[in-house]
Structures are given as C-alpha cells and as structure tokens.
Amino acid sequence: MAETKSAKLTIDGQDYELPIHSPTAGPDVIDIRKLYGQAGVFTYDPGFTSTASCDSTITFIDGEKGELLHRGYPIDQLAEKSHYLEVCFLLLYGYLPKAEELEKFESTITRHTMIHEQMYNFFRGFRRDAHPMAVMVGVVGAMAAFYHDSTDIADPRQREIASHRLIAKMPTIAAMAYKYSVGQPFVYPRNDLDYAANFLHMCFAVPAEEYHVDPILARAMDRIFTLHADHEQNASTSTVRLASSSGANPFACIAAGIACLWGPAHGGANQACLEMLKEIGTPDRIPEFIARAKDKNDPFRLMGFGHRVYKNFDPRAKVMKQSADEVLDLLGVENNPILATAKALEEAALADPYFAEKKLFPNVDFYSGIILEAMGFPTSMFTPIFALSRTVGWVSQWKEMLNDPQNKIGRPRQLYLGETERDYVDIENR
C-alpha cells in the first residue's frame, strides 16, 4: 500500500491534508485515521459501503468488470481447472501448491474430518425441527470447549491447527445437522472419499445399503464450494474480522460469521430463489412473473438475477451454469416442476432484451439453488452449505488480520441523534 498523493479537506476554513494510498488494483483510498484527532470530526458511511476497513491480499472484486480474483487468479479458471481443497490452500497460504504440498494438505484435512464423540450429544439437545444454521452456530461455537490446543491466537501453530480443523470438520457438522433434521442416523466421514464426495455421502448415505456418490454430483458440489470460498469484505467476513479484533478464539469468530451469513440478505439468496420458483409454480406462468418483474410499481423481483456487487455479470455464474446443466441432464427435470420452471425461466430471461439492457443475468445463487434442489437438499440446507464453503475464506481473513501489525479492536463511531444531557426525574414527579 503506497502513499502517492494527498487530498485536501477544508472544514470551517481550516485545511487538512489526508494521505491517499494506491492499491495494486481497485480505487485509491483516503486515509482518515488521524482525521478525528486533527479536525475533531468523523466520517459518516452507513453500511461501510465506501470505507476500506483493512488492507488485504486475499480476494479482489471489480463489480463493473465482473471480475473476482483469489490471490490474483480468476475465479472461473479456478473453478474449471482446480478443485476446492487446492483453492483452500491458495487462500490460506497465498500461492498454488506443488503436488507434494497439496497431497500433504489434503491428507491433513481428510484426517481431521471426525468430530469429538461427545459433540454428538449436542445435536440431541436441539429440537428436530431446529434450523440447521441454528445448530451450526451452536456446535461450531462449542468447538472451543473441546479443542483447547487450538484456541491460543498468539501461537502460530495453534492458529494453523484451528484453521485445518474448521475446514475439515465443517462438512461433518453441516451433514450431521441435516441428518438430525430428517431423523436419520449420523454417517461418519470416510477417508477414501474426496472433500465434496465425502459431504454428499454423509448427507445421503444410510446404514441399510451402499451409497455411491456420482462423480458428476461430486464435481458440481465441489464447484459450489469453490465458487463460494471467499468474496472479499462482505458482511459475514467483516463480522469474523470484527469478532477476531477483540481477541476471541477462532471457533467463536467463525460461529459469528455463520450467524451473520444466516440473514436472508446475505446467505439466503439461493433459498429465496427457490422459494420464488415455487411461487411461480409452473413454466406456463413465467410470462406473468416476467411482466411483474418489469413493472416498477410491482414489489415482485426476480431472485437469482443480477447482483449487488457485479454490475455486469457474475463471473461465477458461467461455471455454475455448466454444472447445473450437467446435473439436470443426469437427474432430469421431467418429474420436478421447480426445476422445469427454473430452466424455462432462465431461457425466457436470457432471451428478453429488457434483462440484457438492465444486466439482470442469472447469478451464482440461481444456478447453485437449482443444483442443490436437484440433488435433494431441502432449502433449509442451502445456507449451511454456503457456510461450510465460506469457512476457508473466513479463516484466511482471520489469519491475515491476526498477522497485521495495524490490527486493533474494531470500534465504529456513530452520528448521535438522541437526547442531550438531562436530569433524572423521580418517578412520582413524572
């Protein structure tokens, strides 16, 4: 981060010089850290949409160009040529691993997938109809009570162990939350399966018979994990960083991220997409809903189209569409009206000039929702799958923050609009 120039801010006739830092990519940033001390004023930025809260070398997004880079590598190349655990290594360590490094990393993750046996009792304390995200928040936070050898954030070795444990055990926890919700016995992880296939096996296998994981479904699942691995300083990542700024243990920080991701404005986008498809019902009703989407006076919106960050196209959607097509070809859509409606809606929207002009293209949530529905996941599991995918991003950001010499506890300011000082009035005189 190089300081190349400065900005002049004039307040009541007084000039203040503010340094401007230039990143390797993206807009320059004005450094306001000393503004309050010099001028006695704060900046006002609800949602922090114009504020850089940190410097980072992990992920870069250019929404105007539709660009998403992990350590400089385009997401579409990673999704097509790589796989999730290799991307995990890249996010954690900053470079693509050599063959022996990747083999060692994969072996480490594979051999950490089991959870402490006593943690099984936690699940039985929840109601059967508990949302899987509620279960994950509780169980992940409780990991700090079981893994005392990886809670000291000042110890680099313990940070490393905690990182591996979180990446390895999150699929097990998510699968157990699903199994518990449907009343089926838990399925232990298997070391002979890869990361994505192991997750599908833990979700859909039963003790009564053999379960074979189709490689097309495993590849689609791996791409969902890869395409959701990190997304810069979003709400849940910022939550993890803010929690970690206090010195909280890694499991508490990731549990905070899961809680934030649970919100429908963040992690529930693909669930909202499927609920919209259920509302549409059948392909013959698509023209009606497309007309409503074009009507500015109608509150209806096409979920899964367009993106808050990407003003052109979602770079993750192209690869996700390929996997969606492969999954639907494998499983078929004839007996599933939701999937038939999704395919017809995609074709209708892409052929309509209105959506092209507004740049409302299907995004990654549209296609991932279709895939998860086709695989047989209930919509309540969509966000937990997002959470286990994003765990490596949260962990990478957490580690980066702890290594930052500028790290300090987060303390946002406010624009206070309440009452000024007033005296207490005894209750009999009110």
Which residues are designated catalytic? Answer: 307, 365
Amino acid identity of 421? E
User: In whole angstroms, what is the distance from residue 408 CA to residue 168 CA?
Assistant: 29
3-state helix, strand, coil in the chain (%, to 5): 55, 10, 40
Cα dihedral: 183, 188, 192, 193 (round 10):
40
User: In whole angstroms, what is the distance from residue 233 CA to residue 54 CA?
Assistant: 9
At 381, is the secondary structure helix, strand, or coil? helix
User: In whole angstroms, what is the distance from residue 399 CA to residue 404 CA?
Assistant: 9
Record the tokens describing residue 164, joined without a space.
């591996």
CA distances from 264 to 272, 273, 303 (A): 8, 11, 12
Amino acid identity of 133? M
Which residues does 130 contact at the CB level (< 8 Å), separation at least 6?
Answer: 181
At 379, is the secondary structure helix, strand, or coil? helix
Instruction: Taking the CA atoms of 170, 97, 196 and 194 in sequence, report the sign of the dihedral they define.
Output: negative
User: In whole angstroms, what is the distance from residue 50 CA to residue 30 CA?
Assistant: 10
CA distances from 29 to 19, 51, 67 (A): 8, 8, 20
Helices (H), 94-187: 99-110, 120-123, 132-142, 156-181
